[in-house]
Structures are given as C-alpha cells and as structure tokens.
C-alpha cells in the first residue's frame, strides 16, 4: 500500500522527532498526546529544530514552512484511525502501550499498519493485543530522531512481508537506513548498548573509576562521542533500567542483572538530563559529576 498519512502517538522527545522527519519527507502527520501542553511544547521543539536545519542549510525556509504545515495535533486518539501508518511513541511501559492499541484499534482502517517505537518490549506480545498482528511491527528510531540515521525494523512472529516492505519504504524515503532485527529482548542496538552502560555503572559502584574518568576513558580510549554515563543521562536512567529489566527478565541471564547503583539513582528520581540530575548534576552552567 502507498503510505501518505502518519499518526504519531506521544508528543515527547521521540514523538516530536518522528513527526519532524515525517513532515520534512512530505508525509501528512497527525500528532497525538493526552496533554495539550505536551503538544504545544512538541510543536515549539519541531519549529526550533527546523530552524536549526535552515541555519545549517540542511533544508530551505520553504521546506521548513511546508513541513510545519503538514503537522496537525489532536488530543483524541481516535482521530489517528484514518491514517495509513501509526507509530506509537508513548512511554516505555507495556501496559500503557497495550491500552493505547486497544483504544485505537476500533477506529482504524482495515489496511492501516500499526507500529511501535519501543526500544525493548516484545513486538509479538504487543501485536497479539490488536486485531492485526500481521500488520504490526517495531519501528524503532534512534534519539535524536532528526540527527540519527538508523531505524530498527522489528518483525513479530506474525508480521507479513507486505507490512515490512511498506515500512522499509518509509525509512528509505526519510533518507535513513534500516537495520532488520528479530523480536528478541532489546533487539540489536540496546541489546549491545545497555549492558555497556550497566557495566559502566558497576565500574562506578565498585570504585574502579569515578564518573569523569569512566566517561573520559571511553571517549578517548574507544573513540565514543559520549561516555557511557553521560549517554545514560541523555537517554534517561529510568529508560536504561527498564531495558535492563526487560533483558534480565526476558533472557534469564545474570549478566543482564541491573546495577544496584542504577536502581538507586532511579529511586532517587535522578533520571539524568530531564530531571537535572543523574550521573551528572546539570543545574549549573557546567555538568558536575555526582560521584
């Protein structure tokens, strides 16, 4: 099928980024959230990021204006029912995602493809709670969406080839690259990345290095653009912990046991940049290690 209209559920960091790249690529976008404030903030973020692209000559001012004109917002989830492709980008909690799909399904066109931006949750299990497991798959963008060029496409056990091909076509139309992954906990990127972040937290807990030395070691010793603890703060420590729990529970291997220090930070509400404190304290002019 030809995909022209995109529904995006969730106007947070991932959702507004997905709306941004879809609109720039020429798709009409319906962005949904439960909060009007979140929708307004999302549009402001998209405007700011588009303006940055104009200033860097990535797109023209005309492209910016056209993209903004293609994004509409709604508080009513049912209004996404007439879109060709829905991308769910709500919080990384299975019960929330399941409720969204159960609410949305009665309003969908028969041919609409349902996808989720989940970074770790079983695609097969989420698909089983819908009326179209063959037209359901994982559509996992990397953060920040306008900058990162990879999208993981994850098939559930029932996903058909037509659905995969349609989603692959969308990824290619965005100028991004697809990595095809099987439906196992955390897929490819986070299956490899999160244990590294978790091990960095263990390295900190055991006193092998402090926050600054661990990050500096990986930036300069492994040529990573960000150290693992800085990256964890950027992603959100609650998200990192959630993915480690999915890996630990889903694979049953003790090597995926979440670091107790990571759990402690989350218990304290120190979730990284979004709460101004995590492995670093962001409340001043310069980030300061908290350990």
Report whether 92 belongs to an annotated binding site. yes
Q: Cα–Cα distance between 237 and 243 in angstroms, integer?
A: 10
CA 164-165-167 angle, to 5 degrees, is: 65
CB proximity list for 133: less than 8 A, separation 6 or greater: 124, 127, 156, 157, 158, 159
Report whether 33 belongs to an annotated binding site. yes
In terms of phi and psi (left: phi > 0; alpha: psi -120 to 50; beta: otherwise), the region of 280 is beta
Report whether 13 belongs to an annotated binding site. yes
Report whether 32 belongs to an annotated binding site. no
Active site residue 119: yes
Report whether 223 belongs to an annotated binding site. no
Cβ-count burial 190-222 (b if 16+ within 10 Å, e if not): bbebbbebbebbebbeeeebebbebbebbeeee
Q: Cβ of 161: how many Cβ atoms within 10 Å?
A: 9
The catalytically annotated residue of 119, 120, 198, 242 is 119
Report whether 143 belongs to an annotated binding site. yes
Q: Cα–Cα distance between 131 and 100 in angstroms, integer?
A: 13
Q: Cα–Cα distance between 132 and 192 in angstroms, integer?
A: 30
Cβ-count burial 255-285 (b if 16+ within 10 Å, e if not): ebebbebbeebbeeebbbbbbebbbbebeee
The catalytically annotated residue of 117, 122, 140, 198 is 140
The catalytically annotated residue of 117, 190, 198, 242 is 190
Active site residue 62: no
Report whether 99 belongs to an annotated binding site. no
CB proximity list for 207: less than 8 A, separation 6 or greater: none
Report whether 264 belongs to an annotated binding site. no
Active site residue 190: yes
DSSP secondary structure letter of residue 158: T
Report whether 97 belongs to an annotated binding site. yes
Active site residue 152: yes
Q: Cα–Cα distance between 104 and 99 in angstroms, integer?
A: 9
Report whether 48 belongs to an annotated binding site. no
Report whether 226 belongs to an annotated binding site. no
The catalytically annotated residue of 152, 198, 230, 242 is 152
Report whether 274 belongs to an annotated binding site. yes
| Residues contributing to the annotated binding site | 10-15, 33, 92, 97, 119, 143, 274
Hey, which residues are catalytic here?
Answer: 119, 140, 152, 190
| Residues contributing to the annotated binding site for NAD(+) | 10-15, 33, 92, 97, 119, 143, 274
């Amino acid at each position: 099928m030809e995909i022209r209209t995109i529904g995006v559920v969730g106007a947070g960091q991932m959702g507004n980024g997905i709306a941004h790249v879809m609109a720039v690529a020429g798709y009409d976008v319906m962005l949904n959230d439960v909060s009007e404030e979140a929708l307004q903030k999302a549009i402001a973020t998209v405007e700011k990021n588009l303006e940055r692209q104009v200033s860097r000559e990535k797109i023209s001012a005309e492209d910016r204006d056209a993209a903004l004109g293609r994004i509409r917002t709604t508080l009513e989830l049912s209004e996404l029912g007439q879109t060709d492709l829905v991308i769910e980008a709500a919080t990384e909690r299975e019960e929330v995602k399941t409720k969204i799909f159960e609410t949305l399904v009665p309003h969908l066109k028969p041919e609409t493809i349902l996808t989720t931006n989940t970074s770790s949750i079983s695609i097969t299990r989420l698909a089983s709670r819908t009326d179209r497991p063959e037209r359901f798959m994982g559509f996992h963008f990397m953060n920040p969406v306008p900058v990162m060029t990879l999208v993981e496409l994850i098939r559930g056990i029932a996903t058909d080839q037509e659905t995969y091909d349609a989603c692959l076509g969308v990824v290619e139309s965005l100028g991004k690259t697809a990595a095809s992954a099987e439906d196992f906990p955390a897929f490819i990127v986070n299956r490899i990345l999160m244990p590294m972040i978790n091990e960095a937290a263990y390295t900190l807990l055991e006193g092998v290095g402090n926050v600054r030395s661990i990050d500096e070691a990986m930036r300069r010793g492994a040529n990573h653009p960000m150290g693992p603890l800085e990256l964890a703060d950027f992603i959100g420590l609650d998200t990192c912990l959630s993915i480690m729990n999915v890996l630990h529970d889903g694979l049953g291997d003790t090597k995926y046991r979440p670091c107790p220090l990571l759990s402690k930070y989350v218990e304290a509400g120190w979730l990284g940049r979004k709460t101004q404190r995590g492995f670093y304290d962001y409340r001043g002019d310069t980030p300061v290690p908290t350990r």
